[in-house]
Structure 1
Amino acid sequence: MIFGLTIEKLLLIGVVAAFILGPERLPRYAESLAALTKRAREWVSTARTRVRDEMGEDFDDVDWRTLDPRQYDPRRIIREALLDDAPVAPRAGGAAAASATVASPPPAAPRETYRAGFDGPPPYDTEAT
């Protein structure tokens, strides 16, 4: 499978291209496509070689599957970020609990101006969320 295309889809694209381009121009476009494919393979090979040379021995240690953008799940990332940064609650009755309640400063009052020369709260766009 190439970029999510199956053989049937590629065959259909080829048939449509043959009808659109016609028998005179089809060989020329096929040669251009073959040359582009060869150049793309060379570029990828050169890039892979350069990355391997610049990273050195660490190149083989990288788990490339974790860097795949198709593995991106924003819900999982947010959940992990929220769970990792969760503060540890002090135990009740201990010295840490007493010092935590005394040491915490009162919440700051909201600012009335958000930039010099403007009064009132900052603008809020209800359609932006």
Structure 2
Amino acid sequence: MFFDIGPLELVALIILAVLVFGPDKLPKVIQDVARFVRKVREFSDSAREDIRRELGPEFKDFEFEDLNPKNFARKHLLDNDDLGLKEIRSSFDLRQELSEVTDAVNGREVAAAPDASAAPAVSAAPAPEGASSDRLRKTGPASRQDPPPFDADAT
């Protein structure tokens, strides 16, 4: 319905209003509330018109809904593509970047990127004697995949 009020809730509000104000005063209360709502609407409409008139002709297409940060960002960043944001978003592939970093950390060979600026090739440096070729990989009993112990007091 309106204001996210369902039909059952509306019936409950009407019954509550009849119980609180009584059937005698209820029509007068409804008239007073309707008059108050009309006055508030007239006041807000006149305030909007005053603000538009004071801003001048350069702000003739100004909408107050644009002051909401979500609407402002949607209108100015997503609809207008003056900055080329769509090309930047389409060229950035987070999954590919993360897989390249993971491959580099694990010592796997990185596939050649389409352009040289996208991802530098990983080169394996010669390891000193006695050192493993992959310094980032854990070895021994501590390398098992058990989660760390949970400490309820720390959280």
Give the TM-score normalised by structure 2. Answer: 0.37
Rg larger in 1 or in 2? 2
Higher relative contact order (CA 8 A, sep 6+): 2
